[in-house]
Amino acid sequence: MSARTALATAGAVRSGEVSARDTVDQALASIDERNGDLNAFLSITAEQARAAADAVDAKVAAGEDPGPLAGVPVALKDNLVTRGVATSCASRILAGWVPPYDATVVQRLAAAGAISVGKTNLDEFAMGSSTENSAFGPTRNPHDTGRVPGGSSGGSAAAVAAGMVPLALGSDTGGSIRQPASLCGVVGVKSTYGTVSRLGLVAYGSSLDQIGPFAATVADAALLLEVIGGHDPGDSTSLDRPAPDVSAHLDDGVDGLRVGVVAELMGEGIAPEVVGRIRAAAEALEAAGATVEEVSIPAISACLSAYYMVATAEASSNLS
């Protein structure tokens, strides 16, 4: 499974080179092999996944369009509600709760031909940054099981990094996609506010929560964002515009772009290795035609305090 990108897998399924059932069986076998060590998945939906895969294969056989993610296995963070499948938010408070509907993003994945194979671990109610604070045990980093995968979407990041699935969804309030993507060495995107419907996401901080993709490649992440994005009348914060066509601009390059390096984020508390990587990235951008400038944002020192004030107040309201 890990040898194919999501784009390549979907293309192979649409062409009939492989079946959706085969891709799902491979993903389930990989999960069975790796999950005992990693604890990335809290639940596996093998029966439902195989039924969905058979439906995709039937469309291919009938000459119908099976969708842009035809037969691609995907993992869902367990704070996204799923009809008929338990959603726990990694808390025993919700253990055994089976939602009566699917989140909008889950519906859009199914419509695109993607196959959900299970729900992934997280810090309880998405409040954490290591995926150690789960009622069902910690998730471990696939690259070194003695280390954390980051959080709160650590299960989704670990599942992609371990090659169990090519795609996964997470949610990000204060870094919960971006940080585990970094620690696990995969691509993670916190979508622009309002781009992706949050209908069916168990809320943490409503001013900050967003759903986004994990993938092994930028192109896969772009496609997944396009599939789940777009207006949803069921979410009052949803932007009234189509999903962004990110894939069309992946090869545009950076010539003429202005990129700021924030001086206050390059000093105290930042590991020298991280600073070095940022400087190297800035040099690469300059070599590719971008203009890189150091900028100062003094108020950034107050951002973490502001985040904790907003997030905790809204979490108190949302979970009450």
Q: Where are the alpha helices (DSSP H) in 175-300?
A: 178-184, 218-228, 272-287
Residue 306 half-sphere exposure toward CB, CA atoms < 13 A = 7
Give which of 4, 8, 111 is closest to 59, Cα–Cα: 111
152 is catalytic: yes
Q: How far apart are CA 74 and CA 211, in angstroms?
A: 14
The residue type of 19 is: S
Catalytic residue among 19, 129, 176, 197: 176
Cα distance from N-terminal residue to C-terminal residue, the chain? 41
- From 19, 30, 77, 197, active-site residue: 77
Which residue is catalytic, options 152, 153, 197, 238? Answer: 152
- Find how far residue 146's CA is from the centre of its chain: 23
Instruction: Let me know the angle formed at the C-alpha of 140 by 208 and 71, rounded to the nearest 5 degrees.
Output: 75
Is residue 238 part of the annotated active site? The answer reads no
Single-letter amino acid code for the residue at 83:
R
Residue 77 falls in the annotated catalytic set? yes
Rounded to an integer, what distance in angstroms lies between the CA atom of residue 228 and that of residue 224? 6
Contact between 244 and 279 under an 8 Å Cβ cutoff? The reply is no
Within 10 angstroms of residue 282's Cβ, the number of other Cβ atoms is: 17
Q: What's the angle, vertex CA 196, arms to CA 192 and CA 200, rounded to 5?
A: 135
H helices present in the chain, as ranges? 6-15, 20-38, 46-61, 104-111, 154-161, 178-184, 218-228, 272-287, 303-318
Residues involved in catalysis: 77, 152, 176
